Structure 1
Amino acid sequence: MPAPGWARVLRRGSDRLLFDLGGGPRPLKFAWIVNAQKAGSFAFYGALMAWYAPQVPQATSHAAWIYLALHGSYGLCWLLKDLCFPDPNWQRRITLPSSVVALVGLGLYWSFGWLLISGVSQPRYPLPDGAWFCLCVSLCLLGSVLMIAADAQKFYTLRLRRGLIDDGVFRYVRHPNYLGEMLVYASFALLVWHWFPVVVLAVVWLGLFAPNMAFKEASLSRYPQWAAYRRRSWCLVPGLL
């Protein structure tokens, strides 16, 4: 089963931007840029808080400290994951213009915390602050565990046998790694409570995640057990999607 036309168009565009833009030498791996951004999150947000603290009371608010802990710790978890079971999809070498695109794109993720720490976002949460913080922390923890468990299961299972993985965290959800990543960044966006993270995440999820999932399902459809697996599982969220 080939990937749908919309997914092929979006995949060609994203591959061009992220890996092949401008042509020429490919001195860097995409993974190096991603890991550098993840590794720097704790220091970046800590520096932002120190810079804005004399100017903006919100820079050292409970929300800012929680954001630092969530986004910074998630970056360290990502590095640990990449050290133990690196994703081969991130090991491609990319052109210098694509490196700039990757840096800018990942910088947009860092802008989430800046909105909160700088006071640009003045969140008025739908629930009491404590309840909202509880929701954000819970989503981030659940998403991190789900993403790491899915990547670990995929990495070690495929080292032993090739084929369709339809058990463990993949039993009822076909893309638990994407779901985990989405829960993590949704927790950041909810904590910031500003329209800009919603726009960035919508572009990434629809322009990058959606075609990647479509291509993965097209590839998995070659296995005989695919039809039965697809009938009893969900793409992302059991009972909804």
Structure 2
Amino acid sequence: MSDSTRRTEAAPAWARALQRLNQWMMFDLGGGPRPLKLAWVINLQKAGSFPFFGCLIWFYADRTPAATSTAAWLYLALHGSYGLNWLLKDLLFPDAKWQGRATIASSVLGAIGLAAYWLAGWLIISGRTSMAYPLPAPAWYALCVSLCLLGCIIMTASDVQKYCTLKLRRGLITDGVFSRIRHPNYLGEMMVYGAFALLAWHWIPWLVLAYFWGLLFSTNMVMKESSMARYPEWAAYRKRSWWLLPGIL
């Protein structure tokens, strides 16, 4: 066995186990035919964000003032626009990891899991969160909007750079958005959904994010680093870059 192969397989046992579990849940649950691309399931949820939250505002408009509050309309704009941005990115720069086909059971489970991302908006629009922010509401809104927009830019820019670079050459990407952060696409998405959770100011969205970030994102990042270790320039790149944020190697 070569050194490069040994380095590629050096991921912790927990990460390898979680990756197998995640892959099974996303693509193979229940067995049988795989009629749907996982990307189609994801894109359906992204495309549905604007109409879903619009319908929620309409449904709750006569039931609670929260449905037509500034926070509700702001959430509609942020989450809905993020969904459209994702669709445009997937149309022009599709990510290969989402193009695999999934069983019916995996597709249903994926749709349910992705729908959990909508809970923050439902809490705001239905009036089930007090939104007792630690700052005045306008300042908190400015914080959430800024975090969401910056995260969306980082996520989109890194995915586009990865797509274009790998079309031209295979190998480690160490410049551009990746020059100082090894996983900017995950960082960007975490910032976006973190902004949604902050806007809702309720524990339920954070519980959802803890599952995705703790079991899915972290596993993918650890496995990716194990794979990248096969490149000769990996050691130097790892030394001068951050995992996600300064101080988090």
For Structure 1 versus Structure 2, the TM-score category normalised by the shorter chain is over 0.9
- In the TM superposition, residue 239 of structure 1 has moved relative to its aligned partner by 3.3
Corresponding position: 1:145 with 2:153: yes
SS at structure 1 position matched to 2:180? coil
Unpaired segments ≥5 residues, structure 1: none
Which of 216, 225, 228 is the equivalent residue of 2:224? 216
Q: Which residue of 2 aligns with 1:234?
A: 242
- In the TM superposition, residue 240 of structure 1 has moved relative to its aligned partner by 4.0
Corresponding position: 1:194 with 2:199: no
Corresponding position: 1:46 with 2:66: no
State the distance in 1 between where 2:127 and 2:75 align. Answer: 13
One-letter code aligned to 1:173:
I
Q: Which residue of 1 aligns with 2:83?
A: 75
State the distance in 1 between where 2:67 and 2:178 align. Answer: 40
Task: Write out aligned runs for 1:1-241 (5 A).
Answer: 1=7, 2-241=10-249
State the distance in 2 between where 1:100 and 1:36 align. Answer: 12
> 1:172·1:238 contact (CA, 8 Å) conserved in 2?
no
- In the TM superposition, residue 75 of structure 1 has moved relative to its aligned partner by 0.1
Unpaired segments ≥5 residues, structure 2: 1-6
> 1:30·1:99 contact (CA, 8 Å) conserved in 2?
yes
- In the TM superposition, residue 49 of structure 1 has moved relative to its aligned partner by 0.2
- In the TM superposition, residue 228 of structure 1 has moved relative to its aligned partner by 0.3
Q: CA RMSD in A?
A: 0.7
State the distance in 1 between where 2:82 and 2:125 align. Answer: 18
* TM superposition score normalised by structure 1: 0.99
CA deviations 1:100-152 (Å, max 9, x no partner) are 11011011011210011001112100000000000000000000000000001
State the distance in 1 between where 2:217 and 2:49 align. Answer: 22
CA deviations 1:172-205 (Å, max 9, x no partner) are 0000000000000000000000000001101100
Q: Which residue of 1 aligns with 2:3?
A: none
CA deviations 1:52-90 (Å, max 9, x no partner) are 000100000000010000000000000000011000100
One-letter code aligned to 1:184:
V
- In the TM superposition, residue 206 of structure 1 has moved relative to its aligned partner by 0.7
> 1:19·1:94 contact (CA, 8 Å) conserved in 2?
yes
